[in-house]
Amino acid sequence: MRDLPFNKYRAAMDVLQRGHDLLVEGLAEEVLDQQECLLEGGFQLHEFLESQGARLHFLGLIMGHLEQSAEALEEEEAMRRHQLSASKADPTHSRKRSRNRNSRAPKPRRQPPPNSEEAVDDIPF
């Protein structure tokens, strides 16, 4: 099986995952260093949650978006490979050419109901 093409979203996630690991490790050390102040609640705890929680939250959001983009790219590549392998497996099978929009015959106009003076396709206002 061929190597998958480079997925920049997965590569970015790998970088951010390492940053996430360092951030969480630093947070753990900070919590242990300030445990008495944090256990009291109050300003120290709220300040810690506001500053550090937001960083983790936004990092998680960014990683979630990168994950979605990475999966979409991988699915697109899998579909392309599947179509390519299907066309190689059955060379006699040719896809129908789609008709040009201009080659379509115009829609026939609908007939108005009996005893009606208004055409069906007319705009009522």
| The overall pTM is greater than 0.85 | no
Instruction: Return all residues near 4 (Cβ < 8 A) that are at least 6 apart.
Output: 74, 77
SS3 at position 71? helix
The pLDDT tens digits of the residues spanning 19-67 come to 999 999 999 999 999 999 888 888 888 898 888 988 999 999 999 999 9
In a domain, 23, yes or no: yes
For residue 39, give its domain range: 8-88
Residue 18 lies in a domain: yes
How far is the C-alpha of 55 from the C-alpha of 51, rounded, in Å?
7
Q: Is position 84 within any domain?
A: yes
Give domain status of residue 59, yes or no. yes
| 87 or 46: which leads in pLDDT | 46
Mean pLDDT of 1-19: 85
Q: Which comes out higher in pLDDT, residue 16 or 92? A: 16
7 — pLDDT class (breaks 50, 70, 90): very high
What is the domain count for the chain? 1
Q: Residue 115 domain-assigned? A: no
Mean pLDDT (the chain, rounded): 81
pLDDT of residue 87: 81
CB 69 within 8 A of CB 9: yes
Residue 38 lies in a domain: yes
Look at 113 and 94; give whichever has higher pLDDT.
113
116 lies in some domain: no
Asked if pLDDT for residue 112 goes beyond 70, the answer is no
Q: Residue 113 falls within a domain, yes or no?
A: no
